[in-house]
A and B are shown apart, each in its own frame.
Chain A
């Protein structure tokens, strides 16, 4: 297929190969002596923010980009949209090299960063929107039509005529989204778009993004610390840890790779003792006739068959640990172990 405005025919809209970014960070010890040393003998060290990351994204995909703070998500997004130059590797987005920032490329993408704004603080969003419309070469009539259309989808109206500084965080985020999407970009980079919003506002933004993707076929790469954003919008996730891509696939597969066990719950017809379950997996809990076991995924079928054969089972349930808990624990640890 061909992405609109793209100079070449592409099967993938985002292509990343061996992408790396190294920052030079100054070392300075605290105190007066540290300041003098820093001034006269400046020492630096390299920090590898992103290391040899490779992936491709097809047109229309909505992909979640996960990782703990400082894992390299935002740096990768900034390289994908051309804001910063990679130290090594190759990136193509919609057939363009992002860091060249050609006008035709910039008209196809947008970057939305939660808590960062492009709207003029003291003026109503409509003033900033009229500037954006002119910058992207959208005529006045067409701009009005698009603003009304997006405003309806975002459930925002009179807020567009109120100064930005007087809007709530949720209203501001919706206006930011409207400004970022006025030129109908075909590739959306969203960095924590629901950060700080209440539950209802988060849900509205999610609904809007899903609808925008459905209506326009836009490709979306989304980072979020709210797993609800990812589970609601993305069937595929990229997981980055210490600059390296450690998972690229479905959410279910991610759950499997993060937790090699499945939880088996049994309700027995008679009481059992812990010794009865030796060799079936790890016994999590035993309460009279209720048993909870952690069983290796690779042995699950065999173990369940043995349990059914060797015990008088009234009920049996096999569960995955909830993905929210797995990712949450991953973020809390600060890195993957």
Chain B
């Protein structure tokens, strides 16, 4: 069975080649992993006060939340808009468009391969965190872990589709990545990466749940940390955003390809 040209041999070959490619950039990937420690900085700020309790976290809950937010971000971060824009501008997209495989699969494979390469660095950073905050150490139960993996996978999917939608705008505007910056502020504010959503005023928190952002960090982080969370509502919202964005991306892609001028190629 094939989905937009994707079959098991293609998955295997793409992942093998992309992983080999990512290993070439392991030092850069280690730095990317390190650059994601913003939640730890926020934790160090909040831990000077009794913010954890006022946010509704008990004991080491806040520390576990921020470590989980770090891990979720590590495995759901997406850079497809930048890679796609470069490929489109330099003409590298043209050969991809002439093969019987949807080009977006190549970017998915690159992200998956990058995650595999990033994994030991992320685990290493988490280990250092536990050395600094030994009381916050915990291991999620198997069910917790599997649910968290699913939530992170869906968070990645939403993130990937959101950026792919913006990337498709490269067919109209050569610098679509600039639009991605517009997402950064609501992402920082509403995702729970900087501050847990529990810290927000009720109105802001309620409003945030109408956006995809809480399901990118806050929801999966709570699942991983074992904090109180509405599983059904969270997963339903994640699936809703995937179902909404996927056809939009495919439509934008189809319309964009009609406009493609193969610049630089």
Contacts and interface: CB of A to CB of B under 8 A. Distances in A.
Nearest to A109: B98
B133 interface: no
B24 interface: yes
28 contacts: A78-B262, A81-B98, A82-B98, A83-B94, A83-B98, A84-B260, A84-B261, A84-B262, A85-B258, A101-B98, A103-B5, A103-B100, A106-B98, A106-B99, A110-B98, A111-B94, A113-B94, A116-B91, A118-B92, A120-B21, A131-B10, A131-B13, A131-B14, A134-B7, A135-B5, A136-B99, A136-B100, A137-B7
B20 interface: yes
A296 interface: no
Contacts of A107: 100
A27 B196 CA distance: 49
Interface in A91-140: 99, 101, 103, 106-107, 109-111, 113, 116-118, 120, 122-123, 127-128, 130-137
Contacts of B262: 78, 83-84
A281 to B, nearest CB: 48
Nearest to B6: A135
B196 to A, nearest CB: 40
Interface of B: 5, 7, 9-10, 12-14, 16-17, 20-21, 24-25, 91-92, 94-101, 258, 260-262, 265
B20 A83 contact: no
Contact of B260 (A83, A106, A109, A130): A83
A111 B95 contact: yes
A122 B98 contact: no
A145 interface: no
Contacts of B25: 122
Contact of A123 (B9, B12, B14, B20): B20
Interface residues of A, number: 32
A77 to B, nearest CB: 10
B17 A113 contact: no
Nearest to B13: A134
A120 B18 CA distance: 9
B86 to A, nearest CB: 12
Contacts of A84: 260-262
Contact of A135 (B16, B21, B99): B99
Contacts of B100: 103, 106-107, 135-136
A23 interface: yes
Nearest to A79: B262
Contact of B101 (A85, A110, A118, A135): A135
A133 B13 contact: yes
A122 B21 contact: yes
B21 A123 contact: yes
Nearest to B261: A84
